[in-house]
Each structure stands twice: as structure tokens, then as C-alpha cells.
Structure 1
């Protein structure tokens, strides 16, 4: 097994618009990342064996782990981590590899990052948490798996930069079943975003009839229960 020696991530300079040529090290870093991006795993490993630093990032802040995750290559991500790759590095938009895994519904990779202690409560620069990302992508199995993680319920009402909770995002992006998963976990279906839209309105505007009907039914039941409670209290 290769030695695991975590190192700081070395960020590659932007080449476009720069009058300073890239150094040999920067060229090598770029070649390594390109190999990973193309899925040329054997070539990338050969560079590592010859001394290539593993914790390097391109000018967008994407590391080899980001790139291998986007390809869904569970085995190679695990190999990179064994070589000492940083599992939790955020790119310039605040996106970490586990966020990419959630975006693509790659449960095996999400599990790998959980085992490596990835920060599951981080947010991107636009305030999106893992729950927002799973809701936007509509991956029901991923939503269920995330909500089983201790403490994940603390993110259920977190607002992104648009003032929307994961459920509000799901209302116009995901299926009725995805919305139901979040409601079952305690998400507030009556809450409104910064523009005053509730989940039923967001679902209706995006043409998600089943979701709209689902939210309207929940609202009707909630109103009926509230009315019944008032009547009961008044009769005492």
C-alpha cells in the first residue's frame, strides 16, 4: 500500500492572461490532473510513483479527487485517498468532492467520503448544503441516506443564497416522492422563500402538478387540524 502523507493543496496558476510562463512543476501538475480527468488512471499513478504531488488543484480549485469523483470512479477515488489525497478540499465555488458525489447520486462515493470523515455540513459559496444539492438533483436514495446521518436534520431548514430551504428547492426541481422524504424528516412545507413563494406555488410554477397537489393537500389537512383544535379549545 502506498504511504499516506497528507500535504497542503498546491493551486495551479491561471495560464490564460498571464505573461509568466508556467514552471515545470506547474506543467507537471496540469498533466497529472488531465490524466485523472481523462480516466487515464494508470498514467496518473505512474506519475505519483515518480514523485508527483497528489494534492494539487487546477485554477478552478479542482483536485484529482474532484475529477475522479465526477467520473464516478469509486475505486480510483479510494486509491487517491490511500495515497494521501485531501478528501475535503473546496474549489473556488466552495464545492467539495462529496458534494459532487451527491449531485450525481453516487452513493458508493458518498459512503467513501463519509468513512474518510468528510465535512457533511459545509456549504458552497451560494449557501447550498448537501441537502440542497440532493434536492436540486432529485436523488431520492441519496436524500434518504443523508437524512439518516446524525445531525443532518439540523440542515433541513437551512437557507441558500436565494433564501430557499432544501424542500423549497425540491418543490420545483425534484419529484413528489423526494418532497415527501423531506416533509417526513420535518421540513416545513408552509415556509416561504424571500419572494413569498411557498412550496405549492414553486411546484406549480415549474409544472410539477403532483408536487403541487401534494403540498396543497398537506396545507388543507393542516388547516383542518388547526380549526379542529380551536373548536376543541373553545368548547372547554
Structure 2
């Protein structure tokens, strides 16, 4: 069920001194040709040097129609070049003139290591080409190495992509008798009885194209031989019409007691996907949001073309909040909402926790301690207690819910107007029921925005529909949100 969450966050803008005329001059046809030639020769060092001069790796080569990333993906053992390009700002889903992404190209060429590198760097296995086909579908259709199909499935590639005739991956595997592809699809949960536009299942397709071994595989994995297509024919009847009498007998004589289900569950990849920002280079956004794992944000830094020299920044580096105000004595507060640490150095809170607050840091983050654990957390997570001393257990505030409503009623009633809080809004049939707008900074466009009590954010609600999920959640017109 889709849910929208508003949360306070921080933005860090890095001002770079770029000579735009010099950058434009550097993007000459000769330099772009040299850049593509370095990619074809797997010269990662040269690629790094040209990217450091702010060469944009998102362009189409005139002669081939390839992008730098799709060109690298078409070359075996080019993982270092792929890494350099993505670190330098190459968009993961930037397509060549044939409509293929780098993941499509690596799949079609059967380059397993390159494909795994792209997936490690947050590329999606579910990109679609200009015909709506995913890499998984193409790997089955074009009989690519089954190991490639398994890599995509392990990375939770979506199955049951259909062409204009409704043929899914399992139909194509059945048609051509590609048993290893078929086994991989069935093991990872493909619908064995899914029907195409004509109502044919994979078993119907086997009966039509005389794929007896594939038909046996489907039957042993639980295919329903009684399903009828839109011509009211079972797979047995299709085999008779197609003069495949031996296969028809196999289907008719099969007993459901011989079905052999998979004994173990599929194992999915646990690869972590890193952000790909190069220190000191121009920051470009990729086409997909960053993925968080275990509450930490990891980054991949490129200082050398050799992958062994690339370093990983992890939770070992503490978050640095410059202290603004120190309290003479620790204040006692109660956590009024759950909060999961988003950065190294932050503290995970659970509703009802008793918190000792020591100081206020930047961006309205407070420093405190729960038990023996200390760290930073947003101020909206806690409510100061009066008459409480350290060590005394704070009472847990009661919470009430109404059907279809994710609003903390106690929090909504007890929190003063204008105080920051998190609101969960359930999406209704007509959407969330609000219009969000952005305001200009009162300090001017070039100045760093500093939140104040009167102007805490640069976003506000222009309108809230009466009776909408947003209205039920307590959102009001002109409410300010996190910047």
C-alpha cells in the first residue's frame, strides 16, 4: 500500500569554480573520439584523467550511437572502466540509440562480471528498452548463457514481462526448449500457468512446438494440464492438433502425484549498492534514488583506476555536528516517535524511550543518551519532561489509531503548532490530497539557508483537499516542511 512520509533532512551544497567556456571547449569532437577510444582499449587511467577535467560521459557517439557506458558494457573485462565512468557521473540508465541500457548490453553480450559490477553500482535489473523488454526477457529470448539469467534473478529481477502478444519469459523458454533458463525461472517463482494473449500456457507452447523435455519439466514442477486457452483447448488437445502424439500421451498420462516441488527457497543477492561520487569532481545525480542499508549510507570513492585502490567509507566515520548550545545540566525527555539512525553517529530511538539531552547541534539535531548509548537525533523525536530527574522512567504516551489512518493522535494533540513532526499519509483513490510548493529563501538565492522558528523550511502546502488523506492526517494549508 503506497504511503508518503515527510521527514526533516539536510542538504549540503558544494560550490565549485568551473570555467564553463573551458569545459565547453574541452568537449571537442577530437576529445570525445579519444575518450571512446580509451574505453574500447580499457584504459581506465586515461578515462579517469579526462573525467577529472569535467568531461561529461553522457553523450552518443555519432558513428555507433553508443554511449560511453554502453560501449564499456559491450567489452569483456571492462569492469574498471565501468567503475570509472559511473564514478565520473555516467547515468546508469542512459540508453544508446537502439534504446538499450548498459545492463541490456552486458546481458546480451554475456559479460557476467561487467553485469555484476553494474548491479553492484545500483543499476536496476528491471530497465526496459524501447520495446518494453527487460534484460531478463532478452537473456531467455536470445539464449544467453543461463548464468546471466541467474545473476539477474538473484538480483530480484521482475519476471512476467510480456511482449505485444503476451508472451512471457517462461513461454519463450518453453518454445525453444531452453531447460536451464526454464529451471531458473521456475525456481525463482515464475508463474508456471501464466497465459499469453491467446490464453496459452507454457505447457500449451511445448505441445505446439514439440518440446517434450520442457513439457516434462513443467509437469514435474506443477503445471496444470487442464488449463484451456481461448480456443477452449487443453495442452493435450493442442498436441493432438499439432500432430505431436507422443507428447500428447505424455501429458494425458502424467499423474499429479509425480509433481516434485522445489525443496529450498531461492537465494537472492545481498550485494550492497553504493553511491558513486568522486571526490573533487562535479556531482551529478543518477536516475534512481540512493538505497540505504542497515541505516548507513556508503559511498564509493575513486582515487585510482585500479579497483583494489578504491576505498569504501562506512559507518566507522562519526557524523560531525558542530555544537551550538551546551546545556548546563542534562535535560530529560521522552521519545514520542520511532527514529532509525540515518547517518553514522546518530542514535536509534523507540517511542517511549527516556532520553538525557546534552546539547543542540546543527540542523536542529540534539545530542543525548539512552541507557549507555549516546548520539544525535532530530529534535522532533522527543518531548521535554517537566519534573523528571535522570534515572526515573518516563511514562509511555498512549497512542490511538483510527481505521485507515496512520496519524499519532496523542502526538498531534500534544505537539504545539509549528513544532516539527513526522506524518504518515495513506494514499487514497484520488491521491494524497495536497499540493506541495517551494518557497524562496529569505536570505537570498546565493546564501546558505538557515532554518529559524518563523521560517523553518523552503517547502509548504499550497492546498489541502477537504476530507482527503492529507486532511485526515492533520496537514493544514501553508504548513512548512523540511528543506
Range of TM-score over shorter length: 0.5 to 0.7
Counterparts of 2:209 and 2:144, CA distance in 1: 14
Q: Structure 1 stretches (4+) deviating beyond 6 angstroms?
A: none
Distance 1:88 1:30 in 2: 22
Q: Do the aligned partners of residues 82 and 50 (structure 1) sit closer, same or farther apart at CA in structure 2, a change above 3 Å counting?
A: closer
Point out the structure with max Rg over C-alpha.
Answer: 2
Deviation at 1:67, TM superposition (A): 0.9
Aligned to 2:47: 45
Shift of 1:66: 0.7
Q: Closer, same or farther in 2 for the Cα pair 1:97/1:192, shift >3 Å?
A: same
- Alignment match, 1:181: 184
Q: 1:76 aligns with which of 81, 84, 100?
A: 81
Q: What TM-score results when the alignment is normalised by the length of structure 1?
A: 0.67
Structure 2, unaligned runs of 5 or more? 1-15, 17-26, 227-254, 258-483
Structure 1 pair 47/209, CA: closer, same or farther in 2 (3 Å)?
A: farther
2:130 is matched with 125
TM-score (norm 2): 0.36
| 1:142 paired residue among 148, 155, 170 | 148
> Structure 2 CA distance, aligned partners of 1:199 and 1:138?
20
Q: Secondary structure at the residue paired with 2:185?
A: helix
Over residues 117-162 of structure 1, what are the superposed CA-to-partner deviations in whole Å (9 max), with x where a residue is unaligned? 1132221111111321222234322322322334x3xx22221334
Cα 1:208–1:220 change in 2 (3 A) is closer
| 2:159 maps to 1:163 | no
Q: Distance in 2 between matches of 1:143 and 1:42?
A: 28
Number of equivalences: 200
Alpha-carbon deviation of 1:98? 1.3
Root mean square deviation of aligned Cα = 3.4
Aligned-pair distance for 1:65?
1.4
Deviations for 1:26-71, whole angstroms, at most 9, x for unmatched residues? 454245324534x263795387279444332224652111111111
Structure 1 unmatched ranges of 5 or more: 6-23, 227-236
Which stretch of the first structure deviates more once superposed, 133-142 or 195-204?
A: 195-204
Q: Is the 8 A contact 1:126 1:161 kept in 2?
A: no
Q: How far apart are the structure 1 equivalents of 2:137 and 2:30?
A: 36
Alignment of 1:106 with 2:111, yes or no, is yes
In 2, distance between residues paired with 1:100 and 1:35? 19
* 1:65 matches 2:69: yes
Assess, with a 3 A threshold, how the Cα gap between structure 1 residues 61 and 116 changes in structure 2: closer, same or farther.
farther
CA distance in 1, matches of 2:95, 2:105: 11
| 1:128–1:161 contact (8 Å) kept in structure 2 | no
1:56 aligns with 2:59: yes
Is this contact kept in 2: 1:61–1:90, CA < 8 A?
no
Specify whether residues 42 and 209 from structure 1 end up closer, same or farther in structure 2 by C-alpha distance, changes over 3 A only.
same
Q: Cα distance, 1:78 vs. partner?
A: 1.9
CA distance in structure 1 between the aligned counterparts of 2:71 and 2:138, rounded to whole angstroms: 18
Whole-angstrom distance in 1 between the partners of 2:57 and 2:35? 9
